[in-house]
Structure 1
């Protein structure tokens, strides 16, 4: 008979688990100060805005302040102005982000494949993103001003595109795309830098054309970068304010939800309604982020392992 040989594997496994728990606890302690600071910086304003949204509070009548519960939210959600602004914001967001993604991917591929003058090309592409949004908005405003704007002079005489809803929204989308496409391209370029050249060479040797390599190899591998780019730009586009404020001021049903909140807070001095609009915008942004992470996060490489 042969004696059984004892193996220390279970002890080693237990020791490894203890080490992992210790590292996890250390990680929690290290990030705790940053979490507390972020909660203090962001949590208090959000909580205070929620509290103000539950009151009838108008700075024009400071003595007439009363807790009204959800009355401000009911007023907003049953008002046509909110839904008009919401759908205008949604349309601008969807159209501008879709165009920016296509153009940004094209620019990212060009910058990634360029052999000569990479620095010059990347600098030229990023110039629009470096310009202050308000300054860029005024340049578009004067360009489309009748009789003086160089773009307005290309239109038939008597045209005033900034006084009509659809042309105004098209100009707003154009200004958004021109300004922020470089940001999208920069994030996608970072993703392209992580694609192994060996895979592309292997796909090319298997007979895959440029389009098939893009769809079957490149896009699946840069899904995390696509998630970040689309998420950041969608959240930013949904909160659009500058371009609309300068180009149209929200006239002719071109106002966004941020413009509506601004009008209530800083023009009508209605703190209660303005705060309620701000809270609704925050909820919309949170829902958008959740949807993006659920849709794209589950498909990103490594997501299955992270859930285990």
Structure 2
């Protein structure tokens, strides 16, 4: 008789048999967490040290210097020979107190907030519409996509000069409207001119980012929605916007931070010391040009805190994934 054999690999109890004890083969790592070898931390620190040094030089050092200058005030004094010299004295928080109680700073703060809120909302809507249009297949789509890049590629100062010519007293805007409006003087017309120029300049940036997010949505999702009877509006609200939301939030985040530090567009388009359009960046620049380095540094420090606080609130409330969290 042939001896009867049993196939342990197919037996139900075979899966519960523990593996034989003993050291694992060389080069084989178990299922547990990988052990950090001795010296890996030092190697990582050595490799990252140039990056940390550059960040400290270009980010941390200017912030520390700005805060230090904001606590001092430059004054003119007479030296022992009777000559006028500039001296720097510690003034504490007097620069901040003078700013927060001054009308010019509060007006610049309001203008900065107003421009940020209006331009970001308008640019988001216009950029989303442009991205939806660029995604469609139509004759001349490549030319349309290339033309969208033109405003974004033009430097902001050059763009401001172009719009200054358009909004001049005898410019294209007044010729089209048939009225003589002083767009670059002051008042509400100057505000509108800045909003129009900024929207034309930076709405393509939002459109390009949103277009990149739209191209990641599979066509099968829209086909299934059409089969289920979903119309164009339903597909936009229930499919496009939820799936493109992460990209859209990142675009809005970048535009918000860029608008809060707006300087060159109103500076070139309208000019300096215009209460209707003066921003915090313009105020800091004007103080620095007039050798008021303490107030200028204080304004820059408050603007930095404002941008950081706005970014923190934006991320916390809307949940924008800026750093790309790992979902594992």
Specify the TM-score bucket, using the shorter chain as the normaliser: 0.7 to 0.9
Match in the other structure for 2:317: 295
Alpha-carbon deviations, 1:254-300, whole Å to 9, x = none? 2111111111111x210000011011111111112212222333689
Alpha-carbon deviations, 1:151-206, whole Å to 9, x = none? 12344655323324111101100000001111111111111111122222222222
Q: Are residue 112 (structure 1) and residue 135 (structure 2) matched?
A: yes
Match in the other structure for 1:257: 280
Q: Are residue 94 (structure 1) and residue 117 (structure 2) matched?
A: yes
- Of 38, 50, 58, which aligns to 2:67? 50
**Can you give the 5+ residue segments of structure 2 that lack an aligned partner in the other structure?**
1-12, 21-28, 78-83
CA RMSD in angstroms, aligned pairs only: 3.0
Contact 1:59/1:269 (<8 A) preserved: no
Mapped partners of 1:6, 1:246: distance in 2: 77
Alpha-carbon deviations, 1:63-122, whole Å to 9, x = none? 331111211111111111111111111111111111110110111111112354333111
Q: Give the Å deviation of 1:19.
A: 6.8
**Can you give the 5+ residue segments of structure 1 that lack an aligned partner in the other structure?**
none
Greater alpha carbon shift after TM alignment, 76-85 vs 28-37: 28-37
Pairing 1:1-308 to 2, within 5 Å after superposition: 5-6=17-18, 12-14=30-32, 16-18=33-35, 30-57=47-74, 63-146=86-169, 148-155=170-177, 158-249=180-271, 250-266=273-289, 268-297=290-319, 305=327
Distance 1:245 1:284, change over 3 A: same
Distance 1:58 1:223, change over 3 A: farther
Contact 1:54/1:69 (<8 A) preserved: yes
Q: Give the Å deviation of 1:31.
A: 4.5
Contact 1:192/1:218 (<8 A) preserved: yes
**Structure of higher CA gyration radius:** 2
Contact 2:71/2:95 (<8 A) preserved: yes
Mapped partners of 1:157, 1:200: distance in 2: 48
SS at match of 2:30: helix
Distance 1:40 1:158, change over 3 A: closer
Distance 1:275 1:29, change over 3 A: same
Contact 1:58/1:272 (<8 A) preserved: no
Length-normalised TM-score, structure 1: 0.86
Mapped partners of 2:30, 2:42: distance in 1: 20
Greater alpha carbon shift after TM alignment, 106-115 vs 82-91: 106-115
Length-normalised TM-score, structure 2: 0.81
Contact 1:227/1:293 (<8 A) preserved: no
Mapped partners of 1:135, 1:176: distance in 2: 12
Q: Give the Å deviation of 1:247.
A: 2.2
Greater alpha carbon shift after TM alignment, 245-254 vs 46-55: 245-254
Q: Which has the higher helix share?
A: 1
Greater alpha carbon shift after TM alignment, 220-229 vs 154-163: 154-163
Mapped partners of 1:298, 1:158: distance in 2: 44
SS at match of 2:181: coil
Mapped partners of 1:28, 1:119: distance in 2: 47
SS at match of 1:18: coil
Aligned pairs, how many? Answer: 299
Contact 2:183/2:190 (<8 A) preserved: yes
Alpha-carbon deviations, 1:126-152, whole Å to 9, x = none? 111111211111121122221x21212
Mapped partners of 1:296, 1:261: distance in 2: 31
